[in-house]
Amino acid sequence: MERYDRQIRVHQIGPSGQKRIEQSHVVIIGLGATGSYAAEQLTRAGIGALTLIDSDTVSLTNLQRQTLFDEVDVAHEAFKVEAAAEKLGKINHNVTLNIFPKRFTPELLAQVPAFDLVLDCTDNFTTRDLLNRLACNQGFAFIMASCAGTAGSVMLFDPKNGPCLNCAYPQLKALQARDCDTLGVNTALVPLVSALQISLALKYLIAPADCATDMMAIFDNWQLSLQHFKVQKNRHCPTCENLPAALPLPRTMQLRSLCGTNTYQVELDNAPTLDQVAAALTEAQIPFDQNQALLRFKWRERPFSYFKTGQCHLYDWPDTEQAELCFLDFYHFIKPIQIEEAITE
Ligand SMILES: [Zn+2]
């Protein structure tokens, strides 16, 4: 008997849709209430691969709504991703599981194999903002699910083809300031909001062109009401309309101004060699001078020196902010070299 018989009989899915599900890789960020529910449902639906990212261990207050965990996990202080993987493996051994008991960072996402979709199951706007910046910068889609009190919101963000999270929430910074407030969540709200997120995820994997990228659904489980709101792309959005600046710099790389000059200095982590940078410049048809110690060229029309130690000097910038935008642009230009190196090491 075909394991997915009941799902294949749904005409919107059918054998080809099921095949598509089985070939898909979904990344779930956050294995709290919505994340553990999403992981279980996608595993039962026969997803090809799941990557689970969460640095937390299971605690007693999780059990009220996080369905993959139990009191044994609390007693063992198990990492959520490990406890989840153990249970998911028993539900469907065909699913490939990648687990990261770590905090979500750009460096971590770079280690994840090619994926089709990300599910935002975080409980805070700081991580959500970072995910959105990465989605804008790298051009992938993600589906947000957020629950608070008796209301939950679900939306597909595909910044290539529609608004981003910051377009939908212009007050993103103010929301981040409230991340530490502990919000109540109604137990019954979670599976309802989660079901909306997973419905949208399956539809996106099978028929992405049929999914609205400008529609937020808000469900209230006390009113039993479902409302839809149209979200417009903001032409002045500080995130998706300024792509080179969308990503934050790693904390170790901060620009310093050289006293009394308009020159800024910064040092790269995992610096590529002069020859690697020279090759990238040649490919981009950017003229440069090279000696044994450094490369000299223009970046954003101003002089830029790249030293073999990974030092960068940016000249003639009126302030730190503009120098930083220039450096971010360069940083994302050479980043593929760094990632390639990390993989081949
Ligand atoms: Zn935006």
CA of 142 to the centre of ligand 1 (A): 14
Residue range 104-127: mean pLDDT, rounded: 91
Same domain, 134 and 273: no
At 123, the pLDDT band (50, 70, 90 cuts) reads confident
The alpha carbon of 155 and the centre of ligand 1 are apart by a number of angstroms equal to 14
In a domain, 306, yes or no: yes
Question: How far is Cα 52 from Cα 98, in angstroms, rounded to an integer?
Answer: 6
**Spatial contact of 101 and 55, defined as CB atoms under 8 Å apart:** yes
Residue 239 lies in a domain: no
Average pLDDT over residues 213-221: 95
Which of 230, 265, 290 represents a domain boundary (last residue)? Answer: 230
Whether residue 237 is contained in a domain is answered as no
79 C-alpha vs ligand 1 centroid, how far in Å? 34
Identify the band that residue 19 occupies on the pLDDT scale cut at 50, 70 and 90: very high
Query: Does residue 281 share a domain with residue 193?
Result: no
241 is a domain residue:
no
345 pLDDT above the threshold of 50: no
Residue 341 has pLDDT above 60, yes or no: no
When pLDDT is averaged across residues 18-44 and rounded to a whole number, the result is: 95
Based on the fold, state whether residues 42 and 125 are members of the same structural domain: yes
User: Domain containing 34 — which CATH number?
Assistant: 3.40.50.720
| Structural domain range at position 271 | 249-344
Q: What is the pLDDT of residue 245?
A: 58
Quick check: is 190 in a domain?
Answer: yes
Domain co-membership, 221 together with 282: no
Identify whether 38 is part of a domain: yes
Question: What pLDDT, in 10s, does the model give residues 135-192?
Answer: 998 889 999 999 888 999 999 999 989 999 999 998 887 777 676 566 778 888 989 9
In a domain, 35, yes or no: yes
- Per the model's pLDDT, the better-predicted residue between 338 and 259 turns out to be 259
Flag whether pLDDT at 14 surpasses 60: yes
Do 202 and 262 share a domain, yes or no?
no
Find the 253 Cα to ligand 1 centroid distance in Å.
25
Most confidently predicted of 97-106, 315-324, 330-339: 97-106
Taking the centre of ligand 1 as the mean of its atom positions, its distance from the CA of residue 137, in whole angstroms, is: 11
Question: What is the ipTM, given to two decimal places?
Answer: 1.00
pLDDT over 90 (residue 17): yes
Count Cα atoms within 13 angstroms, Cβ side, for 274: 16
With 60 as the cut, is the pLDDT of residue 280 above it? yes
Q: Are residues 164 and 262 in the same domain?
A: no
Query: Are 67 and 206 in the same domain?
Result: yes
Q: 120 CB contacts (<8 Å, ≥6 apart)?
A: 29, 30, 128, 131, 142, 143, 144, 145, 146
Ligand 1 centroid distance, CA of 136 (Å) = 8
Distance 168 CA to ligand 1 centre (A): 7
In this structure, the dihedral spanned by the alpha carbons of residues 219, 225, 230 and 233, taken in order and rounded to 10 degrees, is -20
Q: What's the domain count of the chain?
A: 2
Asked whether residue 226 falls in the same domain as residue 328, the answer is no
- Same structural domain, 226 and 254: no
> Ligand 1 mean position to 193 CA, how many Å?
24
Ligand 1 midpoint to CA 37 (Å)? 28
Average pLDDT for 308-334: 86
Q: Look at residue 342 in the predicted model and tell me its pLDDT.
A: 53
Same domain, 155 and 112: yes
pLDDT one-digit tens code per residue, 62-108: 888 788 999 999 898 899 999 999 999 999 999 999 999 988 888 88
127 vs 206 pLDDT, higher one: 206
Residue 243 reports pLDDT greater than 90: no
- Looking at the fold, whether 205 and 308 belong to one and the same domain comes out as no
